[in-house]
Amino acid sequence: MIDSIFSELFYLEHVSGDKLFPVKLRNSDTGKVSFRVSPGGSGGNTKEASSEVDCEFEVKRLVFEQGYAVRAATRDKSRSGLYKLGIRSIKRGVTI
Protein backbone atom coordinates (compact mmCIF):
# COMPACT_ATOMS: atom_id res chain seq x y z
CA MET A 1 0.00 0.00 0.00
CA ILE A 2 1.90 3.03 -1.25
CA ASP A 3 0.54 6.52 -0.51
CA SER A 4 -3.03 5.26 -0.33
CA ILE A 5 -5.50 5.53 2.50
CA PHE A 6 -7.54 2.66 1.02
CA SER A 7 -6.92 -1.06 1.41
CA GLU A 8 -5.57 -2.81 -1.64
CA LEU A 9 -6.27 -6.31 -0.26
CA PHE A 10 -10.07 -6.43 -0.05
CA TYR A 11 -13.35 -4.56 -0.06
CA LEU A 12 -16.86 -5.11 1.27
CA GLU A 13 -19.62 -5.15 -1.33
CA HIS A 14 -22.63 -3.06 -0.27
CA VAL A 15 -26.14 -4.12 -1.35
CA SER A 16 -26.20 -1.03 -3.59
CA GLY A 17 -23.19 -2.40 -5.47
CA ASP A 18 -20.79 0.12 -3.91
CA LYS A 19 -17.31 -1.18 -3.09
CA LEU A 20 -16.36 -0.19 0.45
CA PHE A 21 -12.61 -0.28 1.02
CA PRO A 22 -11.12 -0.28 4.51
CA VAL A 23 -9.76 3.23 4.97
CA LYS A 24 -7.00 4.70 7.11
CA LEU A 25 -8.06 7.49 9.45
CA ARG A 26 -6.07 10.08 11.39
CA ASN A 27 -6.45 9.90 15.17
CA SER A 28 -7.24 13.47 16.21
CA ASP A 29 -5.56 12.94 19.60
CA THR A 30 -2.26 11.40 18.44
CA GLY A 31 -2.02 12.25 14.73
CA LYS A 32 -1.41 8.58 13.93
CA VAL A 33 -2.88 7.34 10.62
CA SER A 34 -4.10 3.73 10.67
CA PHE A 35 -7.00 1.41 9.97
CA ARG A 36 -9.67 1.19 12.68
CA VAL A 37 -11.37 -2.07 13.59
CA SER A 38 -13.91 -2.92 16.26
CA PRO A 39 -15.48 -6.13 17.54
CA GLY A 40 -18.81 -4.40 16.87
CA GLY A 41 -21.90 -4.73 19.02
CA SER A 42 -23.22 -2.16 21.43
CA GLY A 43 -20.86 0.81 21.65
CA GLY A 44 -18.66 -0.56 18.86
CA ASN A 45 -19.02 2.60 16.80
CA THR A 46 -16.79 4.68 19.08
CA LYS A 47 -13.10 5.52 19.05
CA GLU A 48 -12.79 4.07 22.56
CA ALA A 49 -14.14 0.67 21.45
CA SER A 50 -11.95 0.48 18.36
CA SER A 51 -8.35 -0.54 17.81
CA GLU A 52 -5.83 1.09 15.49
CA VAL A 53 -4.14 -1.42 13.20
CA ASP A 54 -1.22 -0.57 10.90
CA CYS A 55 -0.88 -3.92 9.11
CA GLU A 56 -3.34 -4.34 6.26
CA PHE A 57 -3.00 -8.15 6.41
CA GLU A 58 -3.99 -8.07 10.09
CA VAL A 59 -7.06 -5.96 9.23
CA LYS A 60 -8.07 -8.56 6.63
CA ARG A 61 -7.60 -11.40 9.14
CA LEU A 62 -9.64 -9.63 11.81
CA VAL A 63 -12.51 -8.86 9.41
CA PHE A 64 -12.67 -12.24 7.62
CA GLU A 65 -11.68 -14.62 10.44
CA GLN A 66 -12.63 -12.86 13.68
CA GLY A 67 -15.79 -11.03 12.54
CA TYR A 68 -14.51 -7.54 13.29
CA ALA A 69 -16.05 -4.40 11.82
CA VAL A 70 -13.83 -1.95 9.93
CA ARG A 71 -14.07 1.70 8.96
CA ALA A 72 -14.62 1.63 5.21
CA ALA A 73 -15.58 3.99 2.39
CA THR A 74 -16.07 4.18 -1.35
CA ARG A 75 -13.07 5.66 -3.15
CA ASP A 76 -14.99 8.91 -3.70
CA LYS A 77 -16.09 8.82 -0.02
CA SER A 78 -19.76 9.16 -0.99
CA ARG A 79 -20.53 6.29 1.42
CA SER A 80 -18.56 5.62 4.59
CA GLY A 81 -19.01 4.10 8.02
CA LEU A 82 -18.30 1.10 10.21
CA TYR A 83 -19.11 -2.12 8.34
CA LYS A 84 -18.72 -5.83 8.93
CA LEU A 85 -19.48 -9.08 7.16
CA GLY A 86 -22.86 -10.59 7.98
CA ILE A 87 -24.82 -7.37 8.36
CA ARG A 88 -27.79 -6.66 6.09
CA SER A 89 -26.13 -3.91 4.06
CA ILE A 90 -23.04 -5.98 3.16
CA LYS A 91 -23.42 -8.70 0.50
CA ARG A 92 -19.92 -10.15 0.80
CA GLY A 93 -16.23 -9.52 1.27
CA VAL A 94 -14.07 -9.60 -1.86
CA THR A 95 -10.34 -10.29 -1.88
CA ILE A 96 -8.50 -8.32 -4.56
In a domain, 45, yes or no: yes
- List the domain range (segments joined by +) for residue 26: 10-95
Of the ranges 2-6, 27-31, 78-82, 86-90, which one carries the lowest mean pLDDT score? 2-6
Phi and psi at 88, nearest 5°, equal -55, -35
Length of the chain: 96
Sign of the CA dihedral 54, 60, 66, 67? positive
Report the number of distinct structural domains present in the chain.
Answer: 1
Phi and psi at 65, nearest 5°, equal -100, -30
Task: Name the band, by pLDDT with cuts 50, 70 and 90, for residue 13.
Answer: very high
Residue 20 has pLDDT above 80, yes or no: yes
In a domain, 79, yes or no: yes
- DSSP type of residue 94: E
In a domain, 4, yes or no: no
Can you tell me the distance from the alpha carbon of 45 to that of 81, in angstroms, rounded to the nearest whole number? Answer: 9
In a domain, 2, yes or no: no
Work out the number of other CB atoms within 10 angstroms of the CB of residue 71. Answer: 21
- pLDDT on residue 31: 93
In a domain, 50, yes or no: yes
In a domain, 1, yes or no: no
